[in-house]
Structure 1
Amino acid sequence: MIERKVKTVRALERGLQVLSEIDRRKGANLHELHLALGLPKATLLRMVVTLGKHGHIWQRLADGAFLPSARLRPPSADISAEEVAEVSSGHLARLSDQVAWPSAVAVPRADHVEIVETNSPLIRLDAIMLGPVGVRLSYLHTATGRAYLGACQPDERAAILRRLRPAEGDSAGERLLDDMLAGIRDRGYALREPFHPWPDRDWQAVRQDGRRSMAVPVILGAFPVASINITWLQRRSDTATVVQRHLGALRRAAEGIATDLAAARGGVA
């Protein structure tokens, strides 16, 4: 076979370099890509926009980082945190146009829920900042955790509560928790109130930070895979007003996330 010298496509080479660097780092912002590859930021911006348009990467709202698309990976049996974050991002951006308070999406872990995406950088109101990504929130003391806990199946809920329950018995705390979760299931959303006495993470913060939150679960099939919240300052608005004005938008965002997750897997939410 006769070997021929064929010129490579320089722009394509650069694009592949950018994609490889993002994949190697599991996410990178524009400045990090500039330092790593030595390409002008204007050039990099055109490349990441193109890669995003074709579904190879996406940009996280929480910190502006570009990440490999989870949708290109072979599907697994369970919904991954990366899938939830990527699908949630667009819905959180749209929610920021409707609600003047920040929101976050969190996924379940063994004894907490973990923030995977937030629109907080898009909403600079009274310096409320949610996140960053990776922050752990209490199942017991945050609306975000309670929304998931109220929606999950009894076996899963029992396993979570075994990790959170104090060593010494507390029948009053048990009754309060049962009533609280029953109320969440009846009305379809969770609040920070009423406070609960078990000293889990966020126990002090919810009493001192002057914030209030409401949250709803993201339900895929019959099972929750995440929860999404709205957080506001107590001194700026009362709970009843925020619920009346914004619960519908929050529920639509949760339903949209579930629908898109199902569609990405070829199913129905």
Structure 2
Amino acid sequence: MFMPAFDPVTAVLRALEVLRLVNQLDHASVAEIHRQTGIPKATVLRMVETLINAGYVAREDGAATYTATGKCLLLSNGLQVHARMTAKAAPILNVFRRKVGWPSDFGIFDGDAMVIAATNREFGTLSLNRKPGARAPMLLSALGRAYLAFCPADEQERILQALRLSKNPLDELAKDRAGTTKLLKQTRARGYSVSDREYLDTIYEGAIWGIGVPVMAAGQVVASLNVMFLRKAMSMDSGIKTLLRPLQQVAEQVGTDLDEEALGLSRGT
């Protein structure tokens, strides 16, 4: 479990809770916010005035109530981008599943891990149940390795530094700087990643292999894709030989669609 390096700032937590309620209630009063949060009214008022000053809240004319402004939409830009990426990837993954017969996931970087944004797994089969929202470790999963190996050097180092400070045992490999550097260089050189065998043995009881590739758009890595297959069905070498190129083609298609969407948005279409 991730452990914060510092105690949370109470004032920030309170301000975020006040902003959430202003947005939820639409016409929020100090008294109602106080009733729902227990925060003293004087503190609520200070929080509201601070949010007004920052442009996220506005006082309604002729009333002692407050409403959220359009600036709050900026806070969801990252989620909107992720949703659009997932919408592009999901149908392509479904076609890929029908073509190769093996399940795969679409992963997006989320702070200290890859979050499964879309999957074509058929739940209840092959013991490969992992739903959207599940998190895959950066240095043990094929998804994480594929993303991290193709990051720009400065971003890669920021991520690795955060992982070195993590208390999560799944991030322990980050503390081996030489080993991590070698792993990521090898992954980038060959153009694909493989899941850590010990990790797979633990999570899937030694039943599967996993390989992954980056999704590139506008010349940079934006996500990653994997494919998982049963060890008793084929060896790792056979899986790479038969599944890698189709997986790369899927990643290229998703990346192209994202490029085209970005171009359309820049033209206002």
- TM-score, with normalisation over the residues of structure 2? 0.62
Give unpaired runs (5+ residues) of structure 2. Answer: 1-72
2:145 aligned partner: 146
1:253 and 2:256 matched: no
1:221 and 2:218 matched: yes
In proportion to residue count, which structure has more helix?
2
The alpha-carbon deviation at position 174 of structure 1 amounts to: 1.7
2:200–2:206 contact (8 Å) kept in structure 1: no
1:94 aligned partner: 95
* 1:61-76 to 2 correspondences below 5 Å: none
1:158 aligned partner: 157
- Structure 2 vs 1, CA of residues 163 and 262 (structure 1 numbering), >3 Å: closer, same or farther? same
2:137–2:144 contact (8 Å) kept in structure 1: yes
- How far apart in 2 are the matches of 1:261 and 1:186? 24
- How far apart in 1 are the matches of 2:243 and 2:228? 11
The alpha-carbon deviation at position 171 of structure 1 amounts to: 9.9
- How far apart in 1 are the matches of 2:202 and 2:102? 19
* 1:93-172 to 2 correspondences below 5 Å: 93-121=94-122, 127-165=126-164
- How far apart in 1 are the matches of 2:174 and 2:163? 14
Counterpart of 1:182, as a letter, is K
Percent sequence identity over aligned pairs: 24
- How far apart in 1 are the matches of 2:131 and 2:173? 34
1:176 and 2:179 matched: yes
Counterpart of 2:237, as a letter, is A
Q: 1:237 aligns with which of 234, 239, 242?
A: 234
- How far apart in 2 are the matches of 1:204 and 1:163? 26
1:104–1:130 contact (8 Å) kept in structure 2: no
> Over aligned residue pairs, what C-alpha RMSD do you find?
3.2
Aligned residues: 188
2:84 aligned partner: 83
* 1:9-48 to 2 correspondences below 5 Å: none
- Structure 2 vs 1, CA of residues 172 and 114 (structure 1 numbering), >3 Å: closer, same or farther? closer
- How far apart in 2 are the matches of 1:187 and 1:245? 16
- 1:82-110: CA deviation from partner (whole Å, max 9, x where unpaired): 11110001110110122121000010011
Counterpart of 1:129, as a letter, is L
2:190 aligned partner: 187
2:95 counterpart SS class: helix
- How far apart in 1 are the matches of 2:109 and 2:116? 9
- How far apart in 2 are the matches of 1:194 and 1:128? 17
- How far apart in 2 are the matches of 1:257 and 1:186? 22
Counterpart of 1:151, as a letter, is F
- How far apart in 2 are the matches of 1:233 and 1:85? 26
The alpha-carbon deviation at position 206 of structure 1 amounts to: 4.8
The alpha-carbon deviation at position 232 of structure 1 amounts to: 1.4
Instruction: Could you list the structure 1 runs, at least 4 aligned residues long, displaced by more than 6 angstroms after superposition.
Output: 167-172
- 1:213-243: CA deviation from partner (whole Å, max 9, x where unpaired): 0000100122111100001122322110011
2:160–2:174 contact (8 Å) kept in structure 1: no
Q: Which has the larger radius of gyration?
A: 2
- TM-score, with normalisation over the residues of structure 1? 0.62
- How far apart in 2 are the matches of 1:133 and 1:171? 25
